[in-house]
Structure 1
Amino acid sequence: MITAEQIRAGRALLGKTQSKLAERAGISTTGLNNIERGNADPKASTLRAIEAALSEDGIIFLGDGQLVEGGPGVRLAKR
């Protein structure tokens, strides 16, 4: 599963607001804000929707130790 840090980083790389990402993922802006701050325990389906929305815009999610040191990360796909 993706982490709050990956969501924030992916959104920042794309220059998206929380409201734009929330709309794209089909969730509330408040819900996304709570997830990003670690104040929510989202359903797996919610995290998949956020991951799909970010992936569609070119974010690649990296697992712990996968091409990065220090934990899970993200990168922007070459286009």
Structure 2
Amino acid sequence: MSLFVTFNKMNVMKTDILPQQIRAARALIDWTREDLANASGVTVRTLARIESSQTLPRTATLQAISSALEAAGIEFISQNGAGPGVRLARRLDDN
């Protein structure tokens, strides 16, 4: 049984957040896996397996990861014609 759904010749986690988005989000805020592990409560080993597409995370695990990244200023961008991505969330003091 596949852990992934193939969409446009790309493996997509059924949770709608790609491993690439998690890696990109960490890069944007200059976080190591250890930083994300500490913020999310997910082990470094589990993060490594998720980011390398070796495992499909449970819903609660993915929620913990995305919540930690969002609290650190990351905004996940869904598939919108240009593909999914991440960006730094706009702060209220930005114009």
When normalised by structure 1's length, the TM-score is 0.90
Paired residue secondary structure (2:62): helix
Aligned to 2:68: 53
Please identify the structure whose Cα radius of gyration is greater: 2
More helix by share: 1
Q: Does 1:75 align with 2:87?
A: yes
Aligned to 1:14: 29
**What amino acid sits opposite 1:56 in the alignment?**
A
1:3-42 equivalences under 5 Å are 3-42=18-57
**What amino acid sits opposite 2:84 in the alignment?**
P
Paired residue secondary structure (2:22): helix
When normalised by structure 2's length, the TM-score is 0.76
Structure 2 distance, partners of 1:44, 1:5, is 17
How far residue 78 of structure 1 moved from its aligned partner, in angstroms, is 2.5
Q: Percent identity?
A: 43
More strand by share: 2
Task: Indicate the structure whose relative CO is greater, using CA pairs within 8 Å and at least 6 residues apart.
Answer: 1
**What amino acid sits opposite 2:86 in the alignment?**
V
**What amino acid sits opposite 2:28 in the alignment?**
L
**What amino acid sits opposite 2:88 in the alignment?**
L
The root-mean-square deviation of aligned C-alpha atoms, in Å, is 1.1
For this pair of structures, how many residues does the alignment match?
76
Aligned to 2:8: none
